Chains A and B, each alone.
Chain A
């Protein structure tokens, strides 16, 4: 659970959340009833077509002001983030540390 919460950066909140995941996994287990030997996984329904490529020319951009409007914390043209490289506290302590939010 700790691993998942760290990867997803989303919390289960309570036992209901954990239960929901358990049920979801059980539900997904039904997939194993199907025999898929020799079947190629399908990424896209358009797999038989070529992806569109265009020339590497700049056709739009220069909308920094517009984009910055939506950010809450910024300095000049930088998005400001809190200090990085600090791991999330362990599961037990996490809820209290996020309590402030």
Chain B
């Protein structure tokens, strides 16, 4: 579509208007918290001016994008789907947002998430749950034995995954061409798998976290969601690199890259970690994983089984480290400088306590309390330090495997396809997160890059993805293999009946997944 813009087949304002219209018509997905209609149109007009002068800023100029609502956006409400920040207008742009805007991208809105990015379903935010667009696809509807009618349809919608569910749903439903998410335990890859889009978690330290409201400082990364791997590479190219405002970004110069048209995997060694055959893994996904391994073998790659023995402890380890860092990071929300403030004014402490009880939901409060428990002097060694030691063991597992000549790992991304909302909410957030993050968490623990590539549709007609985990800072290799895989599987396009009714011109451009 970027080429279309350059050639004048369409204009940024036209594109922007179509996306905005689509957002309106897919409102039931609840993917967006804030739609920035006015500023988007203004940005689109500015972009159009540039195209008219023949001076577009780059591939991203004029492209509608969405950003998860835990990234600060100047002048635009940034809520983290929490009462604590409802109405909070950020005074600055997160570095990644600024970079996108500097490239001419058009910000159409802030997407929905689990409150403060805690969760794996995008169901626990104050603005309500995000619905997976595939719930409304022909593919899903055909497979759900429908002797039933519309009342049942209401209750059968499936979750989008989390916590960047809004971003994934936005990309999946064509309302934008790329979206930013965040990934701390799988929060970008999980919804990407459930919504059938590409979800990239870059290496920790590659992309700036300045402006990303932190969850776990040592594991958070901004995530990229797009409809194809090439797009992810383009977005990565515009975001990666050292940021003086984030001292956890590495100083090495980042060289943006383009992926080969005919990726070659024959010289690679792919590891299949046996521990990722976790309990609860659906037989469909297991079969898909196997098939993928065979595909790679047939293409000449060396595919071997490897072992990451501490995999099953990564969730427990994450649980302790995450809650501990959360307890610290959430301490800034006291109602004094920004955000919600309680009316209680008997004392500073009671004001803080009341503000926090009103502002945070049960999940957040639960994690803060757990975190404080693990950080108590009596518990510090046994839990927090212990978890840090286990973290090293997990990181070492990966180091050993990569050191033995393996270039990448191939694993499933999720245990099953997306669950119906009514099923999902039967268990509490912590249990769900513990179950769903199992395959994605370890990459965050070790800071490694990982990507979800949509692989096939399940028996229920829902997307299932597979994950590649790469070596630190080897995103080019990771994306090359991901692109190869994408070409092999030819994942079907979502057939949204609502959209079918729209004028065909819209679809022409929206469907062109690649905008490079």
Contact = CB atoms under 8 A, between A and B. Distances in A.
A4 B392 contact: no
Interface of B is mostly: helix
A76 interface: no
Given A24-B373, A70-B89, 6 more contacts: A4-B369, A4-B373, A10-B369, A17-B369, A45-B446, A85-B348
Contacts of A82: 344-348, 350-351
A98 B350 contact: yes
A45 B386 contact: no
Interface string B318-341: 011001000100000011111101
B40 interface: no
Interface stretch (B144-152, B356-364, B405-413, B491-499): B356-364
Given A10-B357, A10-B365, A27-B319, A45 B313 contact: no
A42 B366 contact: no
B336 A86 contact: no
B204 A34 contact: no
27 contacts: A7-B372, A8-B369, A10-B357, A10-B360, A10-B369, A11-B365, A27-B430, A31-B320, A39-B392, A42-B395, A43-B388, A44-B218, A45-B205, A46-B250, A52-B251, A54-B244, A70-B88, A70-B91, A71-B338, A72-B335, A79-B337, A82-B350, A86-B348, A86-B349, A86-B350, A98-B354, A98-B357
A52 B383 CA distance: 30
Given A27-B319, A45-B447, A71-B337, A51 B247 contact: yes
A13 B374 CA distance: 20
Contact of A13 (B251, B339, B357): B357
Interface residues on A, range: 35 or more
A21 B366 contact: yes
B278 interface: no
B279 to A, nearest CB: 15
Interface in A1-46: 3-5, 7-13, 16-17, 20-21, 23-25, 27-28, 30-34, 36, 39-46
Interface of B: 88-89, 91, 204-205, 218, 242, 244, 247-251, 310, 313, 316-317, 319-320, 323, 327, 334-339, 341-358, 360, 362, 365-366, 368-374, 376, 382-383, 385-393, 395, 428, 430, 434, 446-447, 472
Contacts of A3: 376
Contact of A88 (B250, B341, B353, B362): B353
A84 B372 contact: no
A65 to B, nearest CB: 9
Interface string A43-58: 1111001011010000
Interface string A76-97: 0001011111111100001001
A32 B370 CA distance: 17
A10 B353 contact: yes
Contacts of B389: 34, 36, 39-42
Query: In the complex, which of the residues B205, B369, B374 has the most CB atoms of chain A within 10 Å of its own CB atom?
Result: B369
B89 to A, nearest CB: 7
A100 B344 contact: yes
Nearest to A16: B362
Contacts of A27: 316, 319, 430, 434
Given A8-B369, A24-B319, A32-B386, A70 B337 contact: yes
Nearest to B252: A49
Contacts of B428: 20
Nearest to B246: A52
Contacts of B368: 8, 10
Closest 3 interchain pairs by CB? A45-B447, A41-B388, A86-B347
Contacts of B357: 10-11, 13, 98, 101
Contacts of A42: 388-389, 391-392, 395
A8 B204 CA distance: 29
A24 B128 CA distance: 25
A69 to B, nearest CB: 7
Contacts of A81: 336, 348, 351
Given A31-B320, A49-B250, A70-B339, A36 B349 contact: no
A43 B395 CA distance: 12
A26 to B, nearest CB: 11
A101 B354 contact: yes
A25 B370 contact: yes
Contacts of A72: 335, 341
Nearest to B248: A46
Given A27-B319, A41-B385, A49-B250, A83 B204 contact: no
Contact of B353 (A4, A17, A52, A98): A98
Given A28-B320, A36-B389, A88 B430 contact: no
B91 A69 contact: yes
